[in-house]
Structure 1
Amino acid sequence: MRRRRLLVVGPLPPPVGGVETVTKAVLESRLKEEWQLAHCNLTKGRAKTTQGKFDLGNFVWAAIHFSRMLRSVAAFRPHAVYMAVTATWSGFLRDSVIAWIAKAGGAKVVGHVHGGWFDRILARTGRSGRIVRASLRHFDALLVLGTKWRDDVDRYGFEGRCMIVPSTFRQELADAASPFRRNYAVREPKGLFVGQIGQAKGVMDLLHALNDLRVAGTAIKLTLVGPGQFGDDLERAHALVKELALEDLVTFTGQLQGDALYEQYRKADFLVLPSHFEGLPVVFFEAGAFGLPVIGTPVGAIPDLLKHGENALLVQPRDIAGLAAALRRLHDSADERRRLGTKLMHDIQPYTPAAVCSEIGEAVRLVLEAPGGESWEKQFSARRLKL
């Protein structure tokens, strides 16, 4: 019996992000034993700071991606397409054309929504709202990262099927973290931020919280790993560090990958990511793999993974006082760092690459096989429990 053909559409690292990580995981997973896999590479040769912009460079790359997709569909003739769906407006428009090409080629299309702004896509009205509704008809199913997004999609009235399939982390990171044993009883705990540096990631809030703590007598050192998020965000962060006279406490490394990044997880004593908007950040999985306690915000799909007081500390976005209190709590208590870090290490196990890719495979398989309706939902839930 010939295997069915699955075309995987998405970018590959570098840079490392949630979409790139999942795309790579699917291509390297055991799904290739069941399916004939092919890849349409949507990697852009541009910095992440250009995401979401309507500029000439992005138009050129969109045209390149359309050409690649047309060639992939014509040559491979997939039965199904699994593709990432981004949450910026320009990215969503590009992805809708990619999905249309797949449907025109006769494939079933499963989109995996990433990013923290998909609710803004669904909230569009007028002409752009009609474009969104027409574009979503190209998808037979949407996979979303958590409960919030599933509820948003259900309220919107999406005509296809919607289910929760989370993000994952890189197997190489799990392998690097496996032999590491964390010492929680350190005298001067250090903080770590990993992500795009900008206001939407809460970096400015974090710097103000550090300043408030220092004024109150608690000096916490912080390493920020990552590129700028939008425009001059990185320059603004550097300027704020200088304005607040935090140069002796704050270090910028730029973007790191591989062993250089893993070493930052080993050296740190807690991770903080006080984002205003999110999907389900890969850095929480990475921190958990290294037994690192985390501070986050209850936005996007984060509450599906992080539970306040159980395996993390959660503060509301833009709550500088609350953020400072959480930082002090982890700084002052080795027992708290140990309790939260070890619990998070345990709780990321359902998010391993093998587990998540199995769920993606089940979703694609059921899109091809199931007749739809409630029975389809029940089949997915039943099979997911067996994974």
Structure 2
Amino acid sequence: MSADAWTSPMTVVTFVSALSLASWLWLLLARGFFWRTDVGLPAREEPGAWPSVCVVVPARDEAAVLPGSLPSLLAQDYPGRAEVFLIDDGSTDGTGGLACELARRQEGLPLTVASPGEPPDGWTGKLWAVRHGIDLARAHEPEYLLLTDADIAHAPDSLRRLVAAARTGGFDVVSQMARLRVESVWERLVVPAFVYFFAQLYPFRWIGSRDTRTAAAAGGCVLLRAETAERARIPEAIRHAVIDDVALARAVKGGGGRVWLGLADRVDSVRPYPRLHDLWRMVARSAYAQLRHNPLVLAATVVGLALVYLVPPVSVVVGAATGSAAAAVLGGGAWLVMAGTYVPMLRYYRQPLWLAPLLPFTAFLYLLMTVDSAVRHYRGRGAAWKGRTYARPDALPDEG
């Protein structure tokens, strides 16, 4: 074949299409089967003596969601000693007072509401609140800490299932990725993909293995052994981390602890994201932190997203328009594998399967969100959330 043939536009399109298909075959078979959604709580046996647990809930301006979440924590059917510490992180909407009122209306676990004041330099607001909650909890000498967000609703047996799984499996961290709300059009389009991309980046099976360094947790529901937290200096060691759940898991696993993460069946987020703007802000506030604020990593990520998610549909269209069967077939094959791996997540979220072929469009939105996250960082806006801006949070340690 002549040099001109190798550099012709259609040859380039065909080659890139083949590269995209090869990437998808590798993701399908060699990325920890990230696309499977059968990683539920591991086998568990109820202990003879239930350990004590303190639940720490950092909350900032959460009055809108608290009635749908806090009562579920207070109503936990836990056979051992357990209590809840809600840390009001400078709320202006009456979050602390509402929490006390909800506790008065309902019998259940004892609730303590406290406020740590404004975080000092070098701390994110959430982790400063978590630190205050853990300090209060340590006076009660719990064996486990449950760190859970203010928008997370737990089934009545959630705590006992988490503790039983941790005790049976010998895990220092047991975390469940809460099922996010999927009701609006944009939530249906973006939310399942968010969890799918997270699992692709951090395959759940690798997280639970002793043989890999991959570590992650889902901040909405993290059961943490208190002794492990003290040994790993949680949260002091990760006080500046914007993506605090991943940082926590890395600190624990890096210190020799065992971490488990999977999808939840009975732990749900009640926070709505009805508009694209709401979802965009959620992703953009931390996407560039995930890339360690490195412009080279950003460039590689953009190229990778384009190759894996955008090339397949473009190849099909270009191949069909130009009569290049090779480009169309290769692109179509990659698109088919992509859609097939997305189907289990759509089923988990009880969404129609016709959304699977639309994954390239959603990936393009995430690409734009990631670039926007970098732009915000360099404009000094950084990770903005609930009235606070963390302009230059330290990058997370490299997973290697």
| TM-score computed with the length of structure 1 as normaliser | 0.28
Q: Which of the pair has the greater relative contact order for Cα pairs under 8 Å at 6+ separation?
A: 2
- So what's the TM-score if we normalise by structure 2? 0.28
Query: Quick check: which has more Rg, 1 or 2?
Result: 2
